[in-house]
Structure 1
Amino acid sequence: MTGLAADPALTGRQECERRLTAMLDAAVAGRPCLATLPGHCGNGQHALVSRLIRAGADRGLLVLEAGAGRAEHRVPYAGVRRMIGSLTGVDPGRETGPGAPPPGLREAVDALLHRPALVVIRDSRWLDAPSRRWLRAFVRRLPGRGVAVLYGGVHVAEEADWLGVRALHDLIPVADVELRDLTGSDVARGIEAALGAAPDAGFTDAASRLSAGRPDVLDDMLRLLRAGRREPVSAAVPELDGAAASAWAERASYVLRELGDDATAALRAVAVCGGLLDLPLVYTLVEPFAMSADRMRAVLDASGLAVADGDRLRIVAPQVTDRLLADLPADERADLHARAAGLAHRAGAADELVADLLLPARPVGAPWAVHRLRQSSGALCRLGRYQRARGHLARALDEPLDQELRTRLGIELAGVEAVTAPEASDRRLTELARLDSSGSVPAAVSAIDLCLARGDADRARRSVLHVLGHGGGLMRERLLALGALADGVRSYPAEQALPGMPALPAPPVDPMQAGAGAWSLAVRGLDRPVVVSLARRALSAQDGEVMPRLAACQALVLADELDDAEAALDHLVDRLRGGFATAVLSRALVARAELHLRRGLIDLATRDGRHAEQVLPMSSWHPLALPQLLSLRIMIDVESGRIAPALELAASPVPAGAEAGPYWPFLLFARAMTAWADGRPSDAAELLHHCGRMLVRQGWPNPALLPWRALTVHVSVQTGDHDRARRMAADEVRLARRWGSRAALGWAELTRLLADTGGAQQGDRDDEGGICDIHEAVATLRRPHGRISLGWALAELAQGQLARGDHEAAQQSVTVAAEIAAGYPAGRLAQRLRPLHDVLRQHAARQAVAAPGSPPEGLLLLHPAWATLSENDRLTAVLAGRGNRTRHIAALLSVSERTVELRLSRVYKAMRLSGRRELRALVQAAGSG
């Protein structure tokens, strides 16, 4: 047997070749022997046996074959008729009576006394009983004769050792030549032999996985691929996948034609269970079969269509599963899945696995089915696998349900569909809010809440007006709250044909009304204390709809109650995370990202922004709400210094109708910020003009909502339009005073100062005028959290202060701005502050040391030890004496806080000072002197 390795169908069979060749050589030498080829269909046995037959003929052996087809299963001696005829010329005829010797046996054995032969038993599945008895008697008479017997096929499927192989060990040599599945290296060699080129790793791995290491399947795959003239590279894996599907389908069809009905039914049960259940449980899904469980397991293993997975079986390829179930009627298939799901449920299988079994099943009509499907859907939502979650929830609706549960499932399904099929989600929410004969007011309220979260305020408003006439009591009050929110964010122009929305009662009756009222007052910049009170009342409620609570959180943000707002948003996000309300969760994450951005915590803002897109991809956002997400992403990129991505995002197209939504001004502002950062102040000014006009038209003048006037001041100063800068600053101050939050007031003060600094010549401005001086503005804005826009205002202000020579005021501005920029050291604000730090550091060095090595005269007169200090120690002492904190000194000098503390310790020790208070007094005295 030569050239074996060159045949792709025989790759990896070199050891088998060696052992079988030795068996043939023994037969030629007159010694009997027997080899078995245990294994399953598709293991390459046919090619190997065919090669062995040719090799035996080349050695002069008489080749005899025994075997029969399925149609001959009950024909006596059909399996050995040709073999007996070849040796004796006798037709065995009918089965002999009890005790009579098998026909032609003695003559056949005598014929082989001096004639070496190879006897091949290809497949014993369909051998008739008389043929089996004849062969059993034949092999027991082999001693003394040069006969090699190759016992192949799926003989392991037999209930007993009918050939008596175990009893032959004492008579003749017996070898088991097991044909194992191919290894990865075997597959690679087979591919190279078949396609004439060495495969890459990706192609080899795919071929091993798709063929399951079966030589026959691999050979069929490569034959199909060779016909398409494809190279064995990773790019050809899709074609290989198609070839595998065809090969497995053909293999399954061939095997199923040969299998009995009982085995086929068992394989179908295995296919449905997918390796989920132990075999004894799988067997309960089919009709009782005649053979034993062990024999059935052997039959299934030998079929080659199932592989062992511990004590369980699973189908080797999805194409085989499809082929197994294709011929089963739809109702039988659905019933089989339902019964399998019931077994899996009772066996304690995981929710997702039970739900997968229920998908193609008939309605079960049991509470556990709905529970399992909902649990699985929730888990899939937490993993971001929304398409499958949608399928499981939709399947739950096929079960018999009471109306309340059906409505709840419909709302959950609409929440998931917001990701995978947003238009279907909108339609489902509209149907749930219609209040037909099967509807309920609470369900309609929940549906309208989700509709608002989607961003379709017009649809929500119409639904509220429709349902108001059907509900009373608490539900009516909740509807009024949702109606107020929808009325405030409806697209412009509003639909004039609709009747007006009833006004909220004053004071609000329900906490959800308090949330809606807080938002309405906040965007108009009215009654900040009332806004805070209403928002806290809304958030203190134990239950209620989500959008009014989210509106209350945003009202607290505008009121500068950021800690309370963040705590409420954290609670809201945790409550929604892993649930079905994807649109609401995404909106809450965007709101929290905007809060982080206000604080200058760009990393946290980026995290929440990305999470919001993972929950609800940008393509699934409603056109009216999409500008909110786009503006957030642009602002994060701008403040991070990533101008190129911000420009690309700002120029990206938006869906039709987005410009009519309430968040369009936010996108215009973000585009203006991008244009300004890109050095296009004229474009920024035009965008800001349209942004402000739309906000005024919507009735949202609060400066805390969007700092478009402040940015207009920056742009106007840069373009030389100082009159417009002062007008915008004056409007900002007026509205900030009306609103009254510290952040708005401080920001307005800095905006006014910036307008005055940029618009007046040095020496012309009145330093005592304006709202307050720079020190008062900084004191107003100094809070535990940073504000990124404030940081930019302070940086610009510091630039003007340095231009006038007011280094001390500039140092105060830069210090506060540095606190904000510390949240994102690589951001654009930090880059903007670096040249200001350099100027201030150089000025501090000149003040601390008049000349290198020469101490300032004032300090030298007040304390002689000053001359003994190093230049770095003296510079640190001067900065500390002027009231700078340790971390600010460290930032100015680009050293660690520990280094600052060590330098000050040396100063205190050398000058015999008790601490920073005495140092400050000494520095101030030296300055006054």
Structure 2
Amino acid sequence: MVPRSAHPPLQERDEGVSILVDAARAATPDVGGRIFVVEGPPGIGKTRLLTVVRERLRHGGHSVARALGSPLEREFAYGVTRQLFEPMLTAEAEFGRGPLFAGAAAQAASVFTVEAIRPVGDLPVLHGLYWLVVNACTAEPLTLVVDDVQYADPPSLRLLAYLLPRLDGLPLTMMLAMTSGAPVPDLLAEILRTPSTEFVRLRPLGLPGTAAVLATMFGARPDDAFVAACHDSSGGNPLLLTELARGCVEQGITPTSGNTARLATVLLPSRVRPHLGGLPQDAVDVAHAVALLGNEADLPAISAVSGLGVEATAAAVDRLIRSHVLVRAPAGRFGYPHQLLQRSAYEHLDTTRRLRGHRAAALHLAATGAEPERIAAHILQVPPGVVPDAAGYLRRAAETALFRGSPDSAYTYLRRALPDVTGDRDRQVLVDQLADVALHSDVEAAARYGEQALASAVEPAARAAAGLRLGEALLFGGDTEAAVRAWRDARQALDRTSDPGLRWHLDAYLVNVTVLEPGRLHLLDEVGQAAGDDEPPSAGGRALDCVLALRAAFEARPQAAQAARRGLSDGLLVRHGTGDSPLVCGWLALLAAEDDLAGTSIDHARREAYRRGSVRAHGPAHALAALHELWRGNLAEAEREARTAVEAVERSGVRLGRPFVAPFLADILAERGDLAGARSALAWAGLPEEPPPAGPMYFYADTRARLLRRTVGGERAVAAALDAGRLFARFGGDNPAFVPWRTEAARTLHRMGHGDQAAELALAEVALARRWGAPRPLGRALRVAGVVLGAQDGFPLLAEAVDVLAGSLARLEYAKALVDLAAAADRRGRRGWARELLDDAAELAAQCDCPPLRERVDAMSGAAGSRTAPAGPGTTALTSTERRVAELAATGMSNREIAETLFVTPKTVELHLTNTYRKLHIGGRVELVHALDRVTAGTARPPRTRG
């Protein structure tokens, strides 16, 4: 007997189908995109559900792309991504050209071809793929379907995670199917726990669905008792139920109540043996070959792996299709109807046949000119020595992965190649490559390979360079002591003929330790003088300038800004390595000095990161951009930058970034009144409530003290502020531009009634801030001291704070000073002037997007018998990003072109322009040029800071 249907219609899945189809059809630029995860055990019908969804969408003219995750190709860089987009690229004959690769999407061309000129960083590729998706969505909404997503390669998972926060404004629907209970990669776990991810969980069939499946398979209505027995045997699992019914038909068991006892004799496909039992050996060999080949199972490949001739292979394939073991797949390939069956067949292979099959597959693919990564996929499944020239294939696969912006995959291939390498020289080169690549994926391994590379290096410069890299790996791995030893040894390896830039780079890393670990100030005694105006300029000299600049800034020495400007002015350090610690040191020194070059250099670093850098490298640039915007008072923009930095840290897996980024985000959220969010941000750092006395915890401790003042107050807040000061002192720091612990303690002590102690601390900070000279910390210190001393004695300090901040870019601090001066003026009877000050403060609070300050201004205005008016035309300043977007729009650039230039989404550009039009009280782009001219000419009412 033959079953009436190989694949019965989908049962009891109408709700899931409707949810997914309706969501895809509703996706528009205005609505934005959505992501769904279809989850359930093997055989529950996830693939069938998504197949029905795809068919309905395609019948409606909707664009749908599909990919299937595979255990065999899990290391194939962007394998799933290529499955999604290669069909539409082939249709357009693009592969690096044409509309889909327009603009920034051109950076993703290396994913689909190996014709790139040089290796590409992972971030440009990721960003380019985002724009490829944008381009694909331009004409019509797009749905991306990824089945068995738990087997997707890490770079493709990284793309899905990258798309997730960028769905707003994008007519894109992502549908991911995953097997419940299967191991979940970290990147997929990140997608699953994102609040915007929606789940469609499939449950076992009920009795009506079971009866419908059986009726289709048998061609007759089954007895109720037989339905119940089949439901019990299969657990309501559609795949197992179908196979159970097929087995019954093949054994002549009719669906009647009298045959329920015979169901126990029907073997379910928990293993493939029942499917292959009774088939000739040729068919069994072909079934095993298809299971082993995965997506590469075309007739020539199956023939090569099975050892049969092509004609015999074709005959066996036809027989397996008639037996419902195999199905036809696109592009002349063959596969199993379900990955559960394929995995069962693969597991049924004994070790010898499995190794022989992968060896034959690798050699066949190599002989037919397949891509190196497809060959490598099979080599990864066998021990060293099985495939001839395995190291050569793997190294070419690693090179391809690097060209595609996937250092993780390259590391996997190189690591596997090492045992197959013959010859000391080849091994030395490979170990050196591994030490470089592992820095992006496995810092512990990078340290191991770095030690091997150092041991094999002979020339002084080579030994020093290897030591420099080894120390970096050890530092990232948390072993500061070993990193210092590596850098010391590397310095000793240099001789008089060595490149001075290399020595300066080593000195820079040693000095950098003094701002990363407390109690390391003695390292300064080992370092020579600054590079100064070295000719020709070197990255090492610039790095040393930057770290020495931060050291000077920590100690509030005025030469800090000059050294940092020298380190950053020509952009050499940014081009050499975006995100390196010395670069961050230079940014921090200039930000504390309120030097405009800081923002310029950070913008340069972000552009470089998106052009050729890594996900790991662009996190520090966005983190420091967030701090820049926070100190300037652009809170909404600061939050966007900080959340981008959080995303980068989570993508890169470098936990060292969390203690830096978390306090910046927490401060921003606290200023905006989101204290719960601020607590969550600090918790994200993964540190105990009491920060450990090791590592660069001064920003964390400072933010924690501020948050405790806002939420708890009292002795606990005072103790936290004093602890922050003591911790900063262990780094040799006492500059209130970084850690204003004295005014933090003073504010709480003042509230507790300890006026004398509060005044002493506040005035001490004023003296330190005067020595440093930057407006923001000085204005803050003067303001707090003025409040602590009271309306009478503190009034001159408050007035000076307003004067100091009036010409600075620290607008939020300026607004706070205006409010405190207004309160003092009101207490001194100068109410008219106080109201004018509050008007200016209200406008600034609105510009800064600081609800708590605006609420305080409103309360004070109400108490004074007046109400602050909303900002009038032309008076609300644009944020720096709004200004940049407006200026680009005024030149005639489209939203798309602006987004590509600024590395944001088109939706973000649209929001910035909408805010700009509202603030400037204009209707659109036509009026933008003249409105910007009016803003530049300063037509806005100047602040009234004198009564």
TM-score range, shorter chain: 0.5 to 0.7
Structure 1 residues 463 and 588: CA distance shift in structure 2, 3 A: farther
CA distance in 2: counterparts of 1:613 and 1:217, whole angstroms: 52
Query: Cα RMSD between the aligned structures?
Result: 5.2
For the 8 Å contact 2:670–2:678, the answer to whether it is kept is: yes
Task: Report SS of the residue matched to 2:628.
Answer: helix
Larger Rg over CA atoms: 1
Contact kept? 2:815, 2:845, Cα under 8 Å: yes
Of 534, 545, 563, which aligns to 1:514? 545
Amino acid aligned to 2:435: G
String of CA shifts for 1:448-467, please: whole Å, max 9, x gaps: 23444556543321211122
Partner of 2:538: none
In structure 2, give the amino acid aligned to 1:520.
Answer: R
User: What is the deviation of 1:691?
Assistant: 0.8
Query: Residues 733-773 of structure 1: CA distance to partner in whole angstroms, max 9, x if unpaired?
Result: 333332233x34xx4235324423442354x55x5x55963
1:183-332 alignment runs, 5 A limit: 189-190=212-213, 196=228, 207-208=237-238, 210-211=239-240, 214-216=243-245, 247-250=268-271, 252-289=272-309, 291-292=311-312, 294-310=314-330, 311-326=332-347, 330=351
> In structure 2, what residue type is equivalent to 1:550?
V
**Equivalences for 1:10-89 in 2 at 5 Å?**
none
1:590 and 1:612 in contact (8 A); partners too:
yes
The answer to whether the 8 A contact 2:818-2:837 is kept is yes
Aligned to 2:436: 411
Go from structure 1 to structure 2 and tell me whether the alpha carbon gap of 1:274 and 1:456 turns closer, same or farther (over 3 Å shift): same
Using a 3 Å threshold, how does the CA distance of structure 1 residues 273 and 485 change in structure 2: closer, same or farther?
farther
Paired residues of 2:701 and 2:723 also in contact (CA < 8 A): yes
The counterpart of 2:762, out of the listed 729, 735, 752, is 729
Distance 2:550 2:336 in 1: 58
Structure with larger RCO (C-alpha < 8 A, sep 6+) = 2
Q: Which residue of 2 aligns with 1:129?
A: none
Contact 2:494-2:503 at 8 Å conserved across structures: no
* 1:559 paired to 2:593: yes
* Residue of structure 2 equivalent to 1:628: 660
* In 2, Cα distance between equivalents of 1:399 and 1:349: 21
Partner of 1:308: helix, strand, or coil?
Answer: strand
**Aligned ranges for residues 484-563 of structure 1 at < 5 Å?**
484-494=510-520, 501-505=526-530, 507=532, 509=534, 510-526=541-557, 527-537=559-569, 539-541=571-573, 542-543=575-576, 546-561=580-595, 563=596
Map 1:109-188; keep pairs closer than 5 Å. Answer: none
d(CA) in 1 for partners of 2:455 and 2:833?
63
| Offset of residue 399 of structure 1 | 5.3
CA distance in 2, matches of 1:468, 1:600: 43
> How far 1:270 sits from its partner (Å)?
1.9
Query: What residue number does 2:692 align with?
Result: 659
3-state SS of the aligned residue for 2:290?
helix
Residue identity in the other structure for 1:773: E
Residue by residue, what CA displacement relative to the aligned partner does 1:48-90 show, whole Å, maximum 9, x if unpaired?
A: xxxxxxxxxxxxxxxxxxxxxxxxxxxxxxxxxxxxxxxxxxx
Instruction: Classify the secondary structure of the residue corresponding to 1:842.
Output: coil
After superposition, the C-alpha distances for 1:209-260 in whole angstroms (9 at most, x for unaligned) are x55954547999xxxxxxxxxxxxxxxxxxxxxx9xx94343x112334333
Distance of 2:788 and 2:853 partners within structure 1: 20
1:522 touches 1:558 (CA, 8 Å); kept in 2? yes
Alpha carbons 2:802, 2:818 under 8 Å: kept: no
TM-score where L is the length of structure 2: 0.58
Match of 2:487 among 433, 443, 464: 464
1:717 deviates by 3.2
Alignment partner of 1:360 is 2:381: yes
Aligned-residue offset at 1:693: 1.9
Report the Cα offset of residue 614 of structure 1. 3.9
Matches within 5 A, 1:856-895: 886-887=875-876
User: Could you state the TM-score of these two structures normalised by the residue count of structure 1?
Assistant: 0.59
Letter paired with 1:643: L
Amino acid at match of 2:328: A
Structure 1 unaligned blocks of 5 or more: 15-41, 43-181, 221-242, 846-875, 890-894, 902-915
Q: Which amino acid aligns with 1:709?
A: R
Deviation string 1:750-807 (CA, Å, 9 cap, x unpaired) is: 5324423442354x55x5x5596355224232x3xx5555554544444434444445
1:638 CA displacement: 1.7
State the AA in 1 paired with 2:438: L
1:590–1:717 CA distance, 2 compared to 1 (3 A): same
Query: 2 CA distance for matches of 1:523 and 1:636?
Result: 22
CA contact (8 A) 2:428 2:456 kept: no
Residues 415 and 450 in structure 1, CA contact (< 8 A), matched pair in contact too: no
Equivalence for 2:807: 780
Q: CA deviation at 1:313?
A: 0.9
1:379–1:581 Cα change, 3 Å:
same
Which aligned pairs between 1:403-802 and structure 2 lie closer than 5 A? Answer: 403-418=428-443, 440-453=463-476, 456-472=479-495, 473-474=498-499, 476-494=502-520, 501-505=526-530, 507=532, 509=534, 510-526=541-557, 527-537=559-569, 539-541=571-573, 542-543=575-576, 546-561=580-595, 563-576=596-609, 584-617=617-650, 626-647=658-679, 654=687, 659-741=692-774, 743-744=775-776, 747-762=777-792, 769-770=796-797, 773=800, 775-781=802-808, 783=809, 786=810, 788=812, 791-802=815-826
**In structure 2, C-alpha distance between the alignment counterparts of 1:219 and 1:642, rounded to whole Å:** 63
Tell whether the 8 Å contact from 1:791 to 1:820 is kept in structure 2 after alignment: yes
Offset, 1:641: 2.0
Q: For 2:689 and 2:858, how far apart are their aligned partners in 1?
A: 43
Aligned positions, number? 651
| C-alpha displacement of 1:680 | 1.5
Inter-partner Cα distance in structure 2 for 1:888 and 1:489: 36
Secondary structure at 1:659's aligned position in 2?
A: coil
- Cα distance, 1:358 vs. partner? 4.1
Residues 842 and 868, structure 2, Cα contact 8 Å, conserved in 1 = no
Partners of 1:900 and 1:717 in 2: how far apart? 47
Identity %: 21
3-state SS of the aligned residue for 1:735? helix
